[in-house]
Amino acid sequence: MKSIPAPLLAAAVLATTLLAPLAASAAGATAAAKPDLARGQEIATQMCIACHTVDGTRGAPANPILVGQHPEYLAKQLREFKAGRRVNAIMQGMASGLSDEDMRNVAAFYASKPPLAGTAQNAGLVLQGERIWRGGIASKNVPACAGCHSPNGAGIPAQYPRLAGQHAEYTEAQLRAFRSGERANNAQMMTISANLSDREITALADYIAGLR
């Protein structure tokens, strides 16, 4: 076996010595980034309980159900409220005092809770909602919602939010807000909603409420 030349050996030792602190720092950063569920619960209890109930379950229909939602999505929405990219006077006020770490913690707390099943209420519209969800509306360039949010409405972590079981009233309000431009923090949803009628939005929102 050939011996390693002294200059190369010295270079390897030096590189290892220099990179070791960086590796340790990266490992420490990863550990520090792990969400603190207890802190998240504390924030939720202090700031969120009035609108989202103690654990983010089925509060007032005007406010979203948060349990079971992907933490990346929740944290993103909080950041966008804070930055003014998503407009809501109450949520902007709440988010303005939260650090990125606070947002990750409270998002992880809600995400740690199991999602709750809801029910569709309008039998006359549920089939129309199902058709849009599963097949879209080709004549209007509306894609199938299931393509991004999954057939059962569970969404795709870090990409698309969970919608299954959400209050129909809240989902309808958000689709209308996307359509009008009042909510402008997702260009894809603004384009899709612009091609939906009032009846189609209502049917879709009601169907989503019963997904499980």
* Model confidence, pTM: 0.83
Q: What is the set of domains in the chain, with CATH numbers?
A: 37-111 (1.10.760.10), 126-209 (1.10.760.10)
Q: What is the pLDDT of residues 111-154, one digit of tens each?
A: 999 998 899 999 999 999 999 999 999 999 999 999 999 999 99
What's residue 31's pLDDT?
Answer: 46
- Amino acid 32: pLDDT: 54
The pLDDT of residue 4 is 53
How much is the pLDDT for 3?
54
Residue 210: predicted pLDDT: 96
DSSP assignment string, the chain: -PPPPHHHHHHHHHHHHHHHHHHHHHHHHHHHTS--HHHHHHHIIIIIHHHHTTTS-S--TTS---TT--HHHHHHHHHHHHHTSS--HHHHHHHHT--HHHHHHHHHHHHTSPP-------TTTHHHHHHHHHH-BGGGTB--THHHH-TTS--BTTTB---TT--HHHHHHHHHHHHHTSS-S-HHHHHHHTT--HHHHHHHHHHHHT--
Below-70 pLDDT ranges, the chain: 1-32
